[in-house]
Every structure is written in structure tokens, then in C-alpha cells.
Amino acid sequence: MRTARLTLDRDFAVGPVDRRLFGSFVEHMGRCVYTGIFEPGHPAADERGFRTDVLELARELGVSVVRYPGGNFVSGYRWEDGVGPDRPTRLDLAWRQIETNRFGLDEFVAWSRAASVEPMMAVNLGTRGIQEACDLLEYANHPSGTYWSDQRVKHGAAEPYGIRLWCLGNEMDGPWQIGHKTAEEYGRLAGETARAMRLVDPGVELVLCGSSNSSMPTFGAWEATVLEHAYDAVDYLSLHAYYEEDGDLQGFLASAADMDRFISSVVSTADHVAAKLRSRKKINLSFDEWNVWNATRFRGRGRSPFEEAPRLIEDTYTAADAVVVGDFLITLLSHAGRVSVACQAQLANVIAPIRTEPGGPAWRQSIFHPFALTARHAAGQVLRVEPAGPVLDTARYGEVPQLSAVATATEDEVVVFAVNRSAAETLELRADLRDVGAARVVEATAIAEEDPHLLGGPDEEVRPRPLPGVALDRAILTAALPPASWSMIRIARDA
């Protein structure tokens, strides 16, 4: 068994744990909204049609912020269709759906409050522009006494919603996007939209679209160009990434190493633009779509008929998927300070930790567990870890560290999150915790199924179980991390 070592030092903090890293995403796509979070007539629905079983799971998941209403959907969306008594049924061209508009902004804000999450809105910069974005912001955030704010009041919301986070469009570099643009076109439009939105409400925090993923041919150049146009007017730059196994388990288990490189290169590009513009302002990142998505299967489907709430990309997740999701969270935490917002895509049914059946049950998928445990126990400061240990040579991503780890510390507790990325070998973890005053192990939990392809389902076949053989001897922690495993070890600190 090979060994990976790390040392924790209370003075080497990366930054505070930002709760906004535990975000999610609700898009009008497939059954995320309709029969996902919203299903009037369901036995568990409240008077507003919100499924309370899903609300409970969202709370248990520990979601902090939820992005809405898309995704590709937003690029053809008329937000006014989703407010007030008259709700036209429309064609949604992004996903070939029939959109009834029974659920819209007012319902989303009410749902966010019921779920105790911060809403994060996206404006349509595909088929629409500055005026519609300002109208939407006026409707949401202006107190009253103007046309749009009074419409909100008329629809039952006397107080402004005070929505802080706004995305300036979605994946505008993607040729699949309705109203897709060049970097020059989008940079100009986004910059001008941002400036106008700040005139409506100076308190907003604005997210500029980065590349749809790091394999886009314009990746890097896109970020630099759009930032040059909008640097002074925005707060964050977005990243999106999806990963899948696609017949290569070892490569897949190393996915978070790629996410790590992706983040570092976008940080470098943002800092390069800051230097070029002689700006002291730092642009942080919003990783507002990330997850495991078996997209190869999805791409193969033919053109579907227009349907209401179709079953789209309802992936059932495995044990390996849960391990990789745990590793993504480790990676996002280890970039605390530069990644300020992160949203797992999506919350219900559509590549989601929560699955539902119309009129039936709701359940946790395998990927629910590492998210819920990390959101619950990662707190205080993120500590620098920098493990030293064996390296895996993968066909997909080259050499990657076998151990992925991060630690967080409050006054009472240190938590080590660790992934053994090897598909085949157990890894010994040795962590020197003398400087953080480690007193005793409170909990050691792992997702480590013998069969990494074990599928989770309503019976939660894949779930966290106690990790055996964890020892703390004079503040040196040792653990044997099984192959393809995610672990969380909580250690009480000396008073």
C-alpha cells in the first residue's frame, strides 16, 4: 500500500468556507421544475404546488444558492410570461418543450424562501437585451412606484425581492445557444447590460459568461475578450464543466484534476486582463454549472417532438459518480478565495441529486451524499493541504495526484475530506495534525462500494458508511482509503 502525507497548519488558511459554494441550479428543463420541485396535486404538494418532500431533501442537501431559470432555456425566455394571471403557453426551442409558464419568477422566489436558499437569476442575452434585463431587475428589486415594480406589488409581493446575484446570459459562446454570439458581440452587450443594470440597482453582483467548457475552441481567448469589454462592470466570470465515465473508470476518477486545472487557467486569464487594464480589482469565479453527466448517451438521441415536462437526462448515478462529485467539492473548496459561487447542475431529476416520480416518491441519488455531508460539515477556514504522495498516470488527464484532499477548521473541529482516485489500490493517508490540536476522531465516513458501478436508486444502495481503521495517535492521523473512495474524517480539537 502506498502512502500520501499531508500536514495541517492553523496559520496556512486559503480563505473562509463560502456557503455559496454549495449552490444548485433549477432550469426549466425536463422535469426539474414541473413534477420536480413543483407539482400541484401531488400528495406532498403545499397550497402553492411546491413538493414538500423535495423541499425537505433540498434542505437536507444543504443547498445555499439556486440559479434559475436556465441554462440554455433562458436564451429564448420571456420572463414576463411567467408572472401575473395570464400565462401563455410557448414553445421552448432550447429543449423542444412546451412551456406552460405556470411556474415563474414569483413562484421561484417563494420556493427559494421555503427552501431557505438565495435566488440567483439569469437574464436572457440570447434573443433579448439591455431593456428586458433592466425591466426584470426593476420588477424584482425596485421597491414600488414604477410600472414593473408595481406589477410585482399587484402580483402579491409588496416588498422587493432584493436578488443580489445575476448571470448575464448563459453559455453565449456555444453555437447551440439561441442567439449565440462572438466574444466581441457578447462582451459589448454584457458590459452595457451590466452598466445599465447597476443603474437600476447598484447592489447587484453580476456574472459574466466564460466559456461553456474548457474544450471550446475559443476557450481562453473568449475569457480575455469578454473581460476586456466588461471588467469594470462585473464581479464574477462563469465556468461550466460536466464529466462522464464513458468507458474509462480510471480517467473518470481523475476528473477533478481537470477541474482544478480549468479553475487555475481561468484565474490566470482573469489576472492577465487585470494586469493589462492596470486594474486593482480582482474578478472571482462563479462555477455555476458542474456535475457528472453521461452526455454521450444524450447526444446520440434524435430530434424529439415538443412535449410538456419530458424525461430529459435523468441520469441514475453510481458509487464512482458520487466519489467524483465529492472530489469536485474538494476542488472547489481548495480554491476558496477565487471561486465564490458554485452550482451543481441541476437540483431535481435533470442530472440531479434528487429524483422524483410524478405523483410518487422523491429520493436521494448517490451523488446526494457527498454534497450533503460536505455542505453540513465544511465550515470555518479552508486550510492549505498540499499532499505529497503517489501519482497516477491517466490516459485522459496525464499525471494526477492519487490523493485529493482538503481540510476545513473551526475552533472546535477539523474536517479532512479525501478521495483516493485509484480504481485499483488502497491508499494510506498520514496526516500530521499536531499544529491544529487534534484530540479525537469524532466521525469517519466513506463512500466506498466494492463495485464502483453499483447504481444508487430509491433504496439508496450507494450511501455513506463508517470508514474502518482510522487512528489518531499523538495527533498523527492514519487511514486506509479504499480504491475509488470518498472519505470525510471529523476530528475534535483541544479546547
Is 75 a residue that touches ligand AHR (CB under 6 A)? Answer: no
- To which H or E segment does residue 281 belong? none
Is 71 a residue that touches ligand AHR (CB under 6 A)? Answer: yes
The residue among 173 and 449 lying less far from ligand AHR, judged by its C-beta, is 173
Residue with cell 486582463: 273
Query: Per CB under 6 A, which region of 69-77, 248-256, 327-335, 358-366 contacts ligand AHR?
Result: 69-77
Q: Where are the beta strands (DSSP E) in 245-292?
A: 284-292
Nearest CA to 234 among 265, 273, 276, 185?
273
The amino acid that residue 209 corresponds to is C
The residue among 255 and 334 lying less far from ligand AHR, judged by its C-beta, is 255
In whole angstroms, what is the distance from residue 129 CA to residue 126 CA? 8
3-state secondary structure 101-163: CCCCHHHHHHHHHHHCCEEEEEECCCCCCHHHHHHHHHHHHCCCCCHHHHHHHHCCCCCCCCC
Query: Per CB under 6 A, which region of 68-76, 101-109, 249-257, 270-278 contacts ligand AHR?
Result: 68-76
b/e string for 406-430 if b means 16 or more Cβ within 10 A? bbbbeeebbbbbbbbbbbeeebbbe
Going by the DSSP 8-state scheme, the letter that residue 372 receives in this structure is: H
167-226 residues near ligand AHR, rule: CB under 6 A: 170-171, 212
In whole angstroms, what is the distance from residue 263 CA to residue 254 CA? 15
Query: Per CB under 6 A, which region of 49-57, 65-73, 367-375, 439-447 contacts ligand AHR?
Result: 65-73
Name the minimum Å distance from CB 22 to ligand AHR: 17
In whole angstroms, what is the distance from residue 64 CA to residue 24 CA? 8
Name the minimum Å distance from CB 354 to ligand AHR: 15
The residue among 98 and 196 lying less far from ligand AHR, judged by its C-beta, is 98
The residue among 26 and 115 lying less far from ligand AHR, judged by its C-beta, is 26
Is 258 a residue that touches ligand AHR (CB under 6 A)? Answer: no
289 beta partners? 240
Name the minimum Å distance from CB 232 to ligand AHR: 26
Query: Per CB under 6 A, which region of 64-72, 151-159, 245-253, 424-432 contacts ligand AHR?
Result: 64-72
In whole angstroms, what is the distance from residue 399 CA to residue 408 CA? 26
Question: Going residue by residue from 307 to 346, which x/- string records binding to ligand AHR, judged by CB under 6 A?
Answer: --------------------------------------xx
- Residue 389, Cα to own-chain centre: how many angstroms? 29
Count of other CB atoms within 10 angstroms of residue 86: 8
156 beta partners? none
Is 244 a residue that touches ligand AHR (CB under 6 A)? Answer: no
340-359 residues near ligand AHR, rule: CB under 6 A: 345-346
- Which candidate in 99, 107, 132, 289 is catalytic? 289
The residue among 70 and 76 lying less far from ligand AHR, judged by its C-beta, is 70
- Which candidate in 171, 223, 244, 413 is catalytic? 171
Is 23 a residue that touches ligand AHR (CB under 6 A)? Answer: no
Q: Which of residues 30, 36, 62, 70 is near ligand AHR by CB under 6 A?
A: 70
The residue among 72 and 356 lying less far from ligand AHR, judged by its C-beta, is 72
Question: Going residue by residue from 25 to 44, which x/- string records binding to ligand AHR, judged by CB under 6 A?
Answer: --x-x---------------
Nearest residue to ligand AHR, scored by beta-carbon proximity: 71
Question: 178: Cβ–Cβ under 8 A, 6 or more apart, which residues?
Answer: 72, 75, 76, 93, 94, 126, 127
In whole angstroms, what is the distance from residue 474 CA to residue 482 CA? 24
The residue among 212 and 394 lying less far from ligand AHR, judged by its C-beta, is 212
Nearest CA to 157 among 115, 121, 109?
109
289 is catalytic: yes
- Cell numbers given for 113: 424562501
Is 99 a residue that touches ligand AHR (CB under 6 A)? Answer: no
111-150 residues near ligand AHR, rule: CB under 6 A: none
Is 289 a residue that touches ligand AHR (CB under 6 A)? Answer: yes
Spatial strand order in the sheet of 476-481:
2-7, 427-432, 476-481, 471-473
The amino acid that residue 476 corresponds to is I
The residue among 139 and 290 lying less far from ligand AHR, judged by its C-beta, is 290
449 is catalytic: no
The amino acid that residue 305 corresponds to is P
In whole angstroms, what is the distance from residue 65 CA to residue 61 CA? 12
Query: Per CB under 6 A, which region of 57-65, 70-78, 416-424, 478-486 contacts ligand AHR?
Result: 70-78
Catalytic residue annotation: 171, 289
Residues in touch with ligand AHR (CB under 6 A): 27, 29, 70-72, 170-171, 212, 289, 345-346
